[in-house]
Amino acid sequence: MSPPPGRPKAGDTPPGGVARSAGESDMSPPPGRPKAGDTPPGGLAGGAAVTIGAAWDAVSRDLRSAGLDFGHGCASAEDEAAWIVLHAAGIPASAAADFDALRGHALTTGQAQQAAELARQRIATRKPLAYLLHEAWLAGLRFHVDERVIVPRSFIAELLDGGDLDVWLAAAPEHVLDMCTGSGCLAVLAALVWPHARVDAVDLSPDALAVAAINREAYDLQQRLQLIRSDLWESVPTAMRYDLVLCNPPYVPEASMRSLPPEYLHEPGMALAGGPDGMDLVRRFLRGLPAHLSPGAVAVLEVGNERAAFETAFPRLPAVWLETELHAEAVCVLLEQDLREAFGDEGSAG
C-alpha cells in the first residue's frame, strides 16, 4: 500500500481521528524546502511555467498565511500543498514520499493554474481538501469522499494495515462488522486485509452508505462487503455473530462541537456529535455488542481524545489501549468475555 499525502504530527489529533498510514514509518511529507528564489515572480496565478518544487513553495506559503486548520488527512500547510501540487500534476498523492525526486519536474501552465486555483478555493471555502478533490487517502488507499461523509482519518486504519490486531485474534476473522462505516474505508481495509472474511458495514446515514457503495465497487468487494442501514444494532440481524467488530463512532462532546474550526463544519454533524460527554453512541454500541459477538471475539473502538470520558462512563470495563504512531490512547481493544461480564448478553448494564 502506498502512503497518503503527508504525515500529521503527534498532538494534532482532530475530532474523528487523523488520517495516516500504517506503513508511514518510511513515509514522510515533502522533505526540506525549496530554495529561496525557486518561486517565480508573480507566483502561480501568473501562469508562468514552474517546477513542482516552486509551486509547492508558493502554495505552502499561501496556505500557511491563511490560518487554516489541518486535520483532515494532512497536518500542515506543507503536506497539504504537496497534495495540491501533485494532484494538479496528475501524480497520485502517494508519491509525496518521493517528493524530493519530483521537485524539479516542470508543471504545465494549466497545471500550475490548477494548483493555484485549488489553493484559492481551499482558503476561500475552508473546505477540507478531500472534499475539493473528492478523494482521501487512508493506509495508502484512495477513497472517494464528498460532503455526504466525514473525511476518513481513523487510527484504526493503521492497526488494520500494520497487522496489529492479529495478536488479539485466535484466527483470521470470518465475520467482521464495521459499525458506523461512513465512507466504508475501514470495512474496505478489513476486507482487503482478510480476503476470506465477510464484512458487514453499518451506518444510519443513507448518504454515507451511498459513498460507501462507491468505495465498495472501486475495490470490487460487492460479493463480500454488505452495507446495512441501521441505527446502530437495530437492523443488524439478531442471529449475526462477529469475530471482529470495528467502530469509529461519533464521539465529539457537546462543548467541543461548539468550537470546531470551520473545516469541520463541512462534515456531517451526525458523524461527529457524541452528546454531552461524547459517549452517547458508545453507550448504545456497547450495550448491544455482546449479543453479536462470537466466542473469543474482539471489538476495536476509537474514541480519539476521549479516553477519560470513556473511563468515567465505563469504570469497570477492562479496555486495552493500543498505541498508534500519532496517538497513544485513541483506540482500545475490548474482549468478548469482559463485555459479556460488564453488559450481559441482553445489554442490560451500562
Binding positions for ligand SAM, rule: CB under 6 A: 16, 149-150, 152, 154, 180-183, 185-186, 202-205, 208, 231-232, 248-250, 270-271, 281
Q: Which residues contact 181 (CB under 8 A, 6 or more apart)?
A: 187, 201, 202, 203, 208, 209, 212, 227
d(CA 300, CA 155): 11
Nearer to ligand SAM, 43 or 250 (CB): 250
* DSSP code of residue 10: T
The residue (of 116 and 271) whose beta carbon lies closer to ligand SAM is 271
Tell me whether residue 3 is exposed, middle or buried, using C-beta atoms within 10 angstroms of its C-beta: 0 to 12, 13 to 18, 19 or more.
Answer: buried
Instruction: Quote the least distance from Cβ 100 to ligand SAM, whole Å.
Output: 31
Measured CA distances, 313 to 23, 62, 179, 280 (Å): 34, 43, 20, 10
Q: Which is nearer to ligand SAM, 30 or 249 (CB)?
A: 249
Q: Which residues contact 326 (CB under 8 A, 6 or more apart)?
A: 8, 9, 10, 12, 13, 18, 20, 155
Q: How far is the CB of 19 from ligand SAM (least distance, A)?
A: 9
Give the Cα separation of 321 and 333 in Å (integer). Answer: 6
Nearer to ligand SAM, 34 or 73 (CB): 73
Minimum CB distance to ligand SAM, residue 181 (Å) = 5
Which of residues 51 and 248 has its CB atom nearest to ligand SAM in the complex? 248
Q: How far is the CB of 86 from ligand SAM (least distance, A)?
A: 23
* In the complex, least distance from residue 327 CB atom to ligand SAM, rounded to whole angstroms: 14
Residues 6 or more apart in contact with residue 37 via CB below 8 angstroms: none
Closest of 59, 165, 126 to residue 263, by C-alpha? 126
Residue among 29 and 73 whose Cβ is closer to ligand SAM? 73
* In the complex, minimum distance from the CB of residue 270 to ligand SAM, in angstroms, rounded to a whole number: 5
CB 77 to ligand SAM: min, Å: 23
Residue nearest ligand SAM (C-beta atom): 182
Identity of the residue, 152 or 173, whose beta carbon is nearer to ligand SAM in the bound complex = 152
Note whether 117 and 177 are within 8 A (CB): no
Q: How far apart are the C-alpha atoms of 261 and 23, rounded to whole Å?
A: 29
